[in-house]
Structure 1
Amino acid sequence: MAYGTGGCVKEDIRKDEEKPSENQGLHHEDLALKTAAHYFGEELLPALGISGIVEYIAPTETVKLEARQMYQDFNYVMEDRSWSHLEFESDSVTDEDLRRFREYEAAVSRKFGVEVVTYVICSSKVKCLKAQLKVGINTYRVKIVRLKGRNADLLFRRLEEKRRRGERLERADFVSVLLTPLMSGESPIGERIIKGMKILRDAKGALSAEEQEKMLAVLYTFADKFVSEKELNQVKEMIAMTKLGKLLVDDGIEKGIERGLEQGLEQGMKALTETCKELGVDFRQTVEKVKIRFGISEEEAQEAVRKYWQ
């Protein structure tokens, strides 16, 4: 199995002149997705059998004439100037999915004048895998990516035995852990992600702090795409004490405030309270953040938080 070489993936810093000015609903997951996108481009595409060299990350939103936006998961500009478009699917790949991917490709190709190949990255539980769609005289195709030939349960057992023997886990072991949600096996995907996070959390010394955070971001992204809300909350609890977790909370809070302040001070306090609660910040800490952020008294902050703490 070939792995990436740790290259640097740049972001596309070109301004999108067609991007609408109105807020389209930012999420606190944006930071994790951005971090994961970098690591996917640097390391994981070769491990998934996706060939070519990534030049930089491309825009992931496409503006349509109907004044709506279409969001893709990850887009990369390759060395040959074509685009590789990654989509994540957790249940099945249907005709409707293929129509949506085809629409993405057409919009991107027309807007940027490029060729696009869509790779659909499937979790281990996907049963129905459609890779092509007949449309009139044309046949639209995507490339399905999954690791059914590798077993996540066997991998975790092998790594546990390695640790019991006192052997140090190698970097390739940690990269394999990131791919367990795509492998076969009996264990639920949420359980694999949590196990993987525990392994990464204990990887001090084997990985740099920066790479550790990038790997955690990849697992967080898989959780966001593939698991239930209950399992995602467990993942959030695990990641909360890490540097990435703190950045996610801070980033989410700031974006929540920005959204609310566009509609006035009261909406700003409402947005901050709701965002803090969603991110697992407790009542007392939320009161403190509202008090500091809006320059109000302790009593006023408590009253505001209590009003929106539902």
Structure 2
Amino acid sequence: MSEIAYQNKDVTLKFLTEALKHKSLGVYGLPHIRIRDAQPTNLPAIEANELRLDNLFILEDNSLALIDYESTFSMEDVVKYVNYVARILKRFCRENTEIPILHLIIIFSADIQSIRTEIYDFGCMKLCIEPAFLTDMDTEHIYNRLKAKINSGEILNDEELLEIIVLPLTVEGKKPKQELVKNTVELAKGIADENQMIQALAGIITFADKVIDKEYADYVKGAIMMTKVAQLIFDEGLEKGIEQGIEKGIDQGIERGRAVEAIRCIRIKMNKGYEAAVIADLLEQKVDYVEKVCSLIRANPKDTDAEIDQKCRG
């Protein structure tokens, strides 16, 4: 499996956000948390071992929620979150915008039943954690209930969608989690509603990424990506295949589909006011390519993403 292109991460986050949007996290023991949207997270100097940038959400009361999960927890993790919060605050100061209320929500896997304290008082500052513990979730019962519903072709309700997203975290140990991730992914792939299926896959892969290998994570992200651009891919593949052979044509169609999806992501971030250099950093793309795409979008505002891609290739 070739390395999944950067835009798949953007697509994955988009569908995870859709899965959580306007829902209460009551199933995780946090009924007061309702997500409205994702918050862009172009934060500088994030170390590789720190919290991923995908987990900052806007709540319905306009506060922000930094959401992550842990299967181990120590003072090093506390320091990690202090640094992350500081960088979030720094960004708001840099943008000269009002600093919102920020919630720190940590979903603890079944490996952790409690933590020593939920409020860390350092004298000059306090760090307040809003924990969600998954130890009380009955993994086998939930899995069998969801399996029966999915196999019967029924759509999951809001709580069931949130259950399937965190199901792999309800067992102890890395290896059992890895096995349950794979079983849950296969279960989610059977959801009849395509959009809900993608939301479930996006949620599983985002919350369980610490316990699965990159190859499998890329496989799931690729499945998400292929679903949303399948029509474009096979249209391109068929057209090229007639002229150059089916296999080569499909490969070129896939490449074109990914490029068009990349341009969509660039357009979204450009419309939000991001500079080309920032977009390139966020999407892990070359600056000169992003600058070219942005220039073409400005010059041809009515062009579709596919038409912009054609101009890039021309």
Q: What does residue 39 of structure 2 align with?
A: 58
Supply the distance in 1 between the matched residues of 2:164 and 2:111 (Cα, whole angstroms).
Answer: 17
Measured against aligned partners, the alpha-carbon deviations of 1:144-169 in whole angstroms (never above 9, x if no partner) come to 223110122232234456678x6957
Structure 2: gaps spanning 5 or more residues: 93-97, 234-253, 267-279, 290-311
CA distance in 2 between counterparts of 1:48 and 1:143 reads 11
- Note if contact 2:109-2:172 (Cα within 8 Å) is conserved in structure 1: no
Matched, 1:135 2:122: yes
The corresponding residue for 1:30 is 10
| Residues 84 and 116 in structure 1, CA contact (< 8 A), matched pair in contact too | yes
Tell me, what secondary structure is at the counterpart of 2:163?
helix
Q: CA deviation at 1:230?
A: 5.1
* Structure-2 residue corresponding to 1:243: 228
Cα distance, 1:63–1:253 mapped onto 2, change above 3 Å: closer
Alpha-carbon spacing, 1:219–1:162, altered in 2? closer, same or farther (3 Å): closer
Deviation, 1:220, is 2.3
Alignment root-mean-square deviation, CA: 4.4
**TM-superposed deviation, 1:119:** 0.5
Structure 1 residue 73 displacement after superposition: 3.3
Change in CA separation of 1:212 and 1:114 when aligned onto 2, cut-off 3 Å: same
1:262 to 276, 280, 288: 288
Give the whole-Å Cα distance in 2 for the aligned partners of 1:175 and 1:241.
23
Change in Cα spacing, 1:141 to 1:241, as seen in structure 2 (3 Å) is same
Contact 2:135–2:170 under 8 Å retained in 1: yes
What is the aligned partner in structure 1 of residue 188 from structure 2? 200
Counterpart Cα distance in 2 of 1:135 and 1:192: 39
Q: Secondary structure at the match of 1:148?
A: coil
Structure showing the higher helix proportion among its residues: 2
Residue of structure 2 in register with 1:77 after alignment: 58
CA gap of 1:126–1:240, structure 2 versus 1, over 3 A, is farther
Cα distance per residue 1:219-255 (max 9 Å; x no partner): 2223434323354355457657633788995578779
- Report the Cα distance in structure 2 between the residues aligned to 1:169 and 1:56, rounded to whole angstroms: 23
Q: Distance in 2 between matches of 1:83 and 1:261?
A: 30
Cα distance in 2 for partners of 1:167, 1:243 equals 21
Residues 70-109 of structure 1 aligned to structure 2 (within 5 Å): 72-89=53-70, 91-109=71-89
Q: Which secondary structure state, in structure 2, belongs to the residue aligned with residue 85 of structure 1? A: strand
**Total equivalences in the alignment:** 237
Higher relative contact order (CA 8 A, sep 6+): 2
Contact 1:123 1:146 in 2 (8 A): yes
Closer/same/farther in 2, CA of residues 200 and 167 from structure 1, 3 Å limit = closer
Q: Which residue of 1 aligns with 2:22?
A: 42
Percentage of pairs with the same residue: 18
Q: Which residue of 1 aligns with 2:178?
A: 190
Match of 2:165 in 1: 178
Shift of 1:133: 3.3
Residue 106 of structure 2 corresponds to: 120
CA drift of 1:258 comes to 7.9
Q: 1:37 to 1:104 in 2, by over 3 A?
A: same
- CA gap of 1:134–1:252, structure 2 versus 1, over 3 A, is farther
Q: 1:170 to 1:210 in 2, by over 3 A?
A: closer
1:226 alignment counterpart? 211
One-letter amino acid of the counterpart of residue 169, structure 2: L
CA drift at 1:40: 2.0
Once residues 73 and 261 of structure 1 are traced to their aligned partners in structure 2, the CA distance between those partners, rounded to angstroms, is 22
The 3-state SS of whatever aligns with 1:119 is strand
Q: Which residue of 2 aligns with 1:153?
A: 140
Instruction: Specify every segment of 5 or more residues in structure 1 that has no aligned partner in the other structure, as ranges.
Output: 1-24, 264-292, 296-310
CA contact (8 A) 1:93 1:128 kept: no
| Structure-2 separation of matches of 1:229 and 1:157 | 28
Assess if the C-alpha contact under 8 Å between 1:38 and 1:57 holds in 2: no
